[in-house]
Amino acid sequence: MTALFRGELLKLRTTRTALGYAAAAVILTLAFTIITITSGDLHSLADKRSALAVGSGVSAILLLFGVVGSAAEYRHHTLAPALLVAPGRSRLLVARMLAYGGAGLLIGALMLIVGLGVGIPLLSGEAGPSLRGDDYVHLIGGGLLDSGLCAMLGVAIGALVANQVAAVIGVIVWLFIVEPLAAPLLHRASAYTISQTATSLGGGTDGELLAWGAAFAVLAVWTAVFVVGAGVVDARRDV
Amino acid sequence: MSLTAPATTTATIEAVGLTKRFGPIAAVDDLSFRVREGAVTGFLGPNGAGKTTTLRMVLGLARPTAGSSTIRGVPFAQLSDPARTVGANLESCGAHPGRSARNHLRSITTLGGLPPSRVEEVLALVELTSAADRRVGGYSMGMRQRLGLATALLGDPAVLVLDEPANGLDPQGIRWLRDFLRGAAADGRTVLVSSHVLAEVEQTVDDVVVIHRGRLVKEGPVASLTTGRGVRVRTPQVVELIAALERDGAEVDRHADGLLTVRRRTAAQVGDAAWRAGIPVHELADDTATLEEVFFALTDDTAAADTTEPVVA
């Protein structure tokens, strides 16, 4: 498994995809943080924490990062030579998820450094209570877990769908159309959707929320469901 | 540089009743064949005959609807060390267009647990070292073929499976490939190489497996397919030679310009008969078909439609 993980990590490092997504995530975080803090009065703890959190929009970028990287294996036929030297498809998928999870953590760390580095000084001028130590633990710990898990979930979705364009469009439609439209109908259960668990885990405060431990568990279950689905489909798929 | 000899020469590929259906269409239909160890075997058939699908099934990349295949006696997925046993290059070189050739090979080497030194060795072998840091997206078709071949060679495998490796190669590249394949067989490797361009493989392969519409139509050594049409003999005394040969038990067909085709006799026997009868001979040779002629005869749609059972040599 170590060799597979190292091989997938090497593949990840040797195209511009990860760099592009990292840049997009950091720029979006920077823009989101500055716009949120400078455009409104953030007096409550919830508002301030939300302004610094890894939002669901940024989580979506990491999800797409995993989707694009994973589905590219089928689009560019790069899976075949890998399977010829390492025929275990499930092991290869798990190794790829771990590699993207690690990359997601790294991108999440960059986002947090930028977001907190810019946001904390800007928030210092706002009235109301200041963020406490446990708020920062949630923002940082939850943000990192959110980033890593979203990238892994993306890999699983990409492996399940295989068609890169369909997978990307499907994820965007699901996160930004289906889940928001379904939220009023789901009431409290909307806290368990993918975007809302990502928001809860990252420290966001909008919509129905879960405690960040529960959010981590739910997002992990979402990931596990897609991994199992991808494993079953991939085992029967012709490459 | 040269290839090192594999540790063992027991490698063979065997397919038994391989079938692949896509809905009502049988891309491969009850296909059985065997690839001899240490030989270069041409896997021939027209476009769409099912060659690539068959190779994918043999390599565990596609699931057969029925039947099975083995490499050195076990299914590909059960090989204990696949990277060092089988090297394969399918239609695409399998490299991400945004990745350099060197990094592509490094990643496959790492995934397969192979020595990193193999990357530079195979790059040199396929003469891609100078372009190794360029992105594969900018490669020509011929360069991609060489990269695919380099990928297949990373594990220094005893078995090579190559799908249309000459596609996109220039004449020098085709000659290089021919020499390479012969060298691989001389080193004791088993090579299965698919092609639909017979001129590329005729001088290279020892055996052929010919398929058409997913079914086996011929299997065996090239020599057994291209010989056996008879003996060509040309003489100014046609009538006398026919009489002499028929007295000797031969069957003779007469053509224009004093040309005869003699069956059931070797060239030596025909020459001896002519000499005994005192008849001059201006041409005497075995009448061999080209592989191309055999191929077209085997894969002609009318002939193929008449073949209800596969013909195995």
Contacts of B221 (CB under 8 A, 6+ apart): B206, B207, B208, B313
Q: Which residues contact B234 (CB under 8 A, 6 or more apart)?
A: B257, B258, B259, B260, B281, B282, B283, B284
Q: Nearest CB to A80: which of B87, B90, B112?
A: B90
Torsion angles phi and psi, residue B100, rounded to 5: -75, 160
% of chain A residues with pLDDT over 90: 59
Instruction: Tell me how far apart the alpha carbons of residues A165 and A67 are, in angstroms, rounded to a whole number.
Output: 10
pTM over cut 0.90: no
Q: Report the C-alpha gap between B250 and B264 in whole angstroms.
A: 6
pLDDT in tens, A68-117: 999 999 999 999 999 999 998 999 999 999 999 999 999 999 999 998 99
Q: Give CA–CA dist A139/A202, Å, rounded.
A: 6
Q: Residue A71: closest CA among chain B residues belongs to which residue? A: B96
Residue in chain A nearest B148 by alpha carbon: A81
Nearest CA to CA, how far is A60 from chain B (Å)? 23
Q: What residues of chain B, 29 to 58, have a C-beta less than 8 Å from chain A?
A: 56
Instruction: Tell me which DSSP letter residue B206 carries.
Output: S
Find, among B276, B220, B208, the residue nearest to B248 by Cα. B276
Residue A176: Cβ within 10 Å count: 14
- ipTM exceeding 0.90, yes/no: no
What does the angle CA B117 – CA B123 – CA B127 come to, to the nearest 5 degrees? 150
Q: Do A85 and B99 lie within an 8 Å CB cutoff?
A: no
pLDDT at residue B301, as a whole number: 63
B96 CB neighbours in chain A (<8 A) are 11, 15, 72, 76, 78
Burial B106-132 (b: 16+ CB within 10 A, else e): bbbbbbbbbeeebbebbbebbebeebb
- CA distance to A91, B203, B225, B300, per residue, from B292 (Å): 45, 12, 11, 12
Q: Which of A202, A179, A193, A200 is nearest to A221 (CA)?
A: A193
d(CA B79, CA B159): 12
Would you say residue A237 has pLDDT above 70? yes
At B270-308, the pLDDT tens digits run 999 999 999 999 999 887 777 777 777 777 764 444 443
Between CA B189 and CA A210 the distance in angstroms is 61
CA-based nearest residue to A71, from A157, A153, A172: A157
From CA A100, how far away is CA B78, in angstroms rounded? 28
Inter-chain Cβ pairs, chain A and chain B, closer than 8 A = 89
Q: In terms of Cα–Cα distance, which of A3, A1, A11 is closest to A155?
A: A11
- Which of A11, A87, A238 comes nearest B56 by C-beta? A238
Own/partner long-range contacts of B301-307 (Cβ < 8 Å, ≥24 apart):
B304/B212, B304/B213, B304/B217, B307/B215, B307/B217
pLDDT in tens, A109-142: 999 999 899 988 888 877 778 788 888 888 899 9
**Distance (Å) from the alpha carbon of B1 to chain A's nearest alpha carbon:** 24
pLDDT at B7: 40
Distance from B103 to chain A by nearest Cα, in Å?
7
Mean pLDDT, 10 residues at a time, chain B of 313 residues: 42 88 92 92 90 95 95 92 92 87 96 95 94 94 91 94 87 85 88 82 86 90 76 90 88 86 86 91 83 76 44 34
Contact in structure between A52 and A139 (CB atoms under 8 Å): yes
Do residues A191 and A210 make contact, with C-beta atoms less than 8 angstroms apart? yes
Q: Give Cβ neighbours of residue A64 (< 8 Å, ≥ 6 apart).
A: A21, A154, A168, A171, A172
**Is the backbone of residue A237 left (phi > 0), alpha (psi -120 to 50) or beta?**
beta
CA dist., res. A157 & res. A171, Å (int): 8
Helices (H), A53-161: 56-75, 79-85, 89-123, 133-137, 143-161
Closest by Cα among B71, B53, B51, B75 to B62? B53
- Residues A18-72 have pLDDT tens digits of 999 999 989 988 888 888 888 877 778 788 888 888 766 678 899 999 999 999 9
pLDDT of residue A211 exceeding 90, the answer is no
Of A3, A10, A87, the CB nearest to B60: A87
Q: Chain A contact for B155, CB < 8 A?
A: yes
Burial, B146: exposed, middle or buried (Cβ in 10 Å; 0-12, 13-18, 19+)? Answer: buried
Helix ranges (DSSP H) in chain B: 51-58, 82-85, 101-111, 117-125, 141-153, 171-186, 198-202, 222-226, 238-247, 267-277, 291-299, 301-306
- Compute, in degrees rounded to 10, the torsion defined by CA atoms A152, A157, A158, A162: 150
Alpha carbon of B106: minimum distance to chain A alpha carbons (Å): 8
Q: Is A1 on the interface with B (CB under 8 A)?
A: no
